[in-house]
Structure 1
Amino acid sequence: MNKKNIITVTFIALSLFLVLNSCKNKAKESNTTAASSSSENKDEETVYASDVIPFFDHWKLILGDGSNVGIANNFENKDFFYVTHDDDSDWVVFKTPNAGDTHGTSNNTRTELAQTKKWYPKTADDKLSATLKVMNVSATGDARVAASYSVVVGQIHSADKHENEPLKIFYKKFPGHTKGSVFWHYEINTAGDDNSGRWDFSTAVWGDDFSVVGPEANTYPAEPKDGIALGEAFSYEVAVKNGIMTLNFMSEGHETKTFTKNLVESEYTKTSDIPEQTQKLFVPLGQDGVERANAYAGEGCFFKLGAYNQTNGKSPEENKNWCSGAETHDGNLKKQYADGNYAEVWFKTGSISISENAVSNEGYFTKND
């Protein structure tokens, strides 16, 4: 082989080596980039509330800005509704400020699920259960106002006539206390067309009921015995069958409590039936109505679940039971969240059972959205 041929073969071999090595390096670089991209996608993958509690087909979600986002599968909003991880479990966070745009006619903000179907108590066989922990209630309020420092974590709501509430499940904790109270309310379905005389009757589960308030705006009552702390899990079960509502409350280290209430036959049809608690709380405000004899019979009812903040910025002069005079920073969300003027509730589990007699609840949303 002459010198020219030797040079040519050497050049070809060197070129082939460089091409193959380049391809190998590009393949390695491509594999590394793909692995990196896959890892980043995995880290950024969102866990949605509907992944944690797969029952969102049955609800529409109202946010703390008053908006109805509809059925919340694969949905999150970092201001109001998202998933967090704690104690080796995922929890669905419902968060809402003391003030902002509200849903319907309410004075209070909510991040809350509302059932898409309604059922009728007399023919019902419907059930809601949940395990949750309250992580925050408002840092401010008027201690004389019964609703201050409280949040509603579950409800039964009427979709018809007055749209009253045969059930509200509350958590309430005064500033400086370690333990708070869990209690439930029954609101009368007021007789007649004037609903201004409606009132609630409160029953303690653990701790005190709604009526225990402070003697002064910044003076608090004694801390409740057998109360529930912020961050302490508890569960409720609400069942309505053949007109009877049955409530079960469970929490580790606390006595399990069971209550029943007839939703289709009233015990408050006469002024003389008004309980002493109501005489003290509501009657002085002119809320002294009586209930229609068949209570919630014939009205479509539905479940709600989430964080319905009961502490607002309205003046206690308007209503000593419901207007808390709390800090709202004129509705500024970031400022309210920064100094603790909000409600936050985490749900670990939830389930709903719906009877065949349930029908669409779309009319309620049409009226209130």
Structure 2
Amino acid sequence: MNTSIINTKTLFSTLFIGTLLITISSCNSKNTNIKVTPVIDSINEDTSKTIYASEVIPFFENWKLILGDGSNAGIATDFENKDFFYTTNDGTSNWVVFKAPNAGDTHGTSNNTRTELAQVKKWYPKNANDTLTATLKVMNVSATGDARVAASHAVVVGQIHSADAHENEPLKIFYKKFPGHTKGSVFWHYEINTAGEDNSLRWDYSSAVWGDDFSVIGSDENTYPNEPKDGIELGEEFSYKVAVSDGVMHLTFTSDNHPTKTFTKNLIKSSYTTAALIPEQTQLLFVPIGQNGVERDSAYTGEGLFFKLGAYNQTNGKSPEINRNWCSGAETHGGDIQKQYADGNYAEVWFKTANISISDQAVSNDGYFQKND
């Protein structure tokens, strides 16, 4: 082998590398802002990995998910649907997004769409020791709807629902904001568990948390009431805690820059057993349209109850002539979901945290899902 050739190649390589280092050093001395950035091996980094809702709120074995197209997704562990149910990050925290259009296929007998979790076990209020907590922010409510209809521009973000008999709702937590307003209202409803067989006579009673209650409506289709001074804005975080023990429901609502509000309601002893006990609010809203029933004395005693959480859109496209409290006459684009999303005719709620505690007496709630699938 010709060693002189090898030595010449070695000498040339050494001189070339040395010259390159001197050149880099010379460049750096002239411009101190130039930096040599090391190459990072990112081959193994998976920046597209999906973060599922069950990773943000890790309690999904206790719930089944209903989507905004009326379908039952079941236990939603490691599941997403980009139209209705997925995660996002606001720069600080991960959130679970629930979206529901004004119209589409609905679940069970409801007039309204929902993307909502329903607890798979039911419990009985008399012996209950059951709790649901959540931290959330409402990002959108319907852009259209008749202002005279109390349910227009509203979404329900948490519930207690009965799985038995009339399947009524002793709790619905609402957020409602009129177009053009900066602040909306948070309020909650108690629905009577109607005495007798005719459940069409049932009605709700609404209690304000921040802002107004359900009964504050517009004077005509497009004229809105005054904006609530102490309301909650879209995108403003708030929390609720629902605890039921020994037949009594305890509610706590908290939010930064707002006073904490607490309420109690007996679920096993009615306050509305005669027509004379129907509240004034109900006399104004429900009695004129024939919803003037009374509640059975034992209220929800003996009925299996369960929690629900998500976005239950209260605005729909049905004519207010059908029911002026619940039928909004909103834009639905014939049920085209993407068109509704494009012009703001949907509800969207983000949840950051949620937790549930279930008492030992809870039992399977499969019957409810079988009846409503």
Q: Which residue of 2 aligns with 1:207?
A: 211
Q: Equivalent residue for 1:329?
A: 333
Q: Are 1:80 and 2:101 an aligned pair? A: no
What TM-score do the two structures reach when normalised by structure 1? 0.90
Indicate the RMSD between aligned Cα atoms, in angstroms: 1.1
Alignment of 1:247-326 (within 5 A): 247-326=251-330
The whole-number CA distance in structure 1 between the counterparts of 2:92 and 2:277 is 49
In the alignment, what sits opposite 1:153?
157
Give 1:9-24 correspondences, 5 Å limit.
none
CA distance in 2, matches of 1:172, 1:72: 28
Q: Distance in 1 between matches of 2:56 and 2:326?
A: 34
Find the residue that maps to 1:169 and give its secondary structure.
Answer: strand
Q: CA deviation at 1:284?
A: 0.4
C-alpha distance in 2 between matches for 1:106 and 1:321: 15
Alignment map for 1:233-248 (pairs within 5 Å): 233-248=237-252
Q: Which residue of 34, 38, 43 maps to 2:44?
A: 38
- 1:309 Cα deviation after fit: 0.1
Aligned residue runs from structure 1 range 145-224, under 5 A: 145-224=149-228
Query: Which residue of structure 2 lines up, in the alignment, with residue 95 of structure 1?
Result: 99
Call closer, same or farther: CA 1:44–1:87 in 2, change over 3 Å. closer
Q: Encode CA deviations 1:195-248: one digit per residue, 9 max, x unaligned.
A: 010000000000000000000000000001200000000000000000000000
TM-score (norm 2): 0.89
Q: C-alpha separation between the residues in 1 aligned to 2:346 and 2:44? A: 38
Distance 1:353 1:147 in 2: 31
SS at match of 1:43: coil
Q: What residue is the counterpart of 1:15 in the other structure? A: none
- Residue type matched to 1:164 in 2? N
Q: Which stretches in structure 1 are left out of the alignment for 5+ residues? A: 1-5, 11-34
Counterpart residue number, 1:25: none
The answer to whether residue 359 in structure 2 is matched with residue 355 in structure 1 is: yes
Equivalent-residue separation in structure 1 for 2:229 and 2:149 (angstroms): 21
Task: State how far apart, in whole Å, the 1-side matches of 2:42 and 2:242 are.
Answer: 48
SS in 2 for 1:38: coil
Aligned counterpart, 1:344: 348
Q: Distance in 2 between matches of 1:291 and 1:210?
A: 20
Task: Note the alpha carbon deviations across 1:41-94, whole angstroms, 9 max, x for none.
Answer: x11110000111101110000000000111111000000000000141000000
Secondary structure of the equivalent of 1:299? coil
Gaps of 5+ in 2: 6-40
**In the TM superposition, what is the alpha-carbon distance from 1:38 to its structure 2 partner?**
2.5
Using the alignment, how far apart are the partners of 2:186 and 2:66 within structure 1? 23
Distance 1:297 1:96 in 2: 32
Question: Over residues 311-350 of structure 1, what are the superposed CA-to-partner deviations in whole Å (9 max), with x where a residue is unaligned?
Answer: 0000000000000000000000110000000000000000
Structure 2 residue matching 1:304: 3-state secondary structure? strand
- What residue is the counterpart of 1:24 in the other structure? none
| Counterpart-to-counterpart distance in 2, 1:172 and 1:295 | 27
- Verify: 1:49 aligned to 2:53, yes or no: yes
Q: Residue in 2 aligned with 1:14?
A: none
Matches within 5 A, 1:110-125: 110-125=114-129
Structure 1 segments (4+ residues) deviating >2 Å: 35-39
Q: Deviations over 1:341-367 (max 9, x none)?
A: 000000000000000000000000000
Q: Which amino acid aligns with 2:235?
A: G
Which amino acid in structure 2 is aligned with residue 230 of structure 1?
Answer: L
Which amino acid is 2:234 matched to?
Answer: L
Alpha-carbon separation, structure 2, partners of 1:123 and 1:68: 30
Larger mean CA deviation between 85-94 and 111-120 belongs to: 85-94
Paired amino acid for 1:38: N
- 1:224 and 1:291 map into 2 onto residues whose CA distance is 32
Q: Which amino acid aligns with 1:277?
A: Q
DSSP-derived class of the 2:257 partner: coil
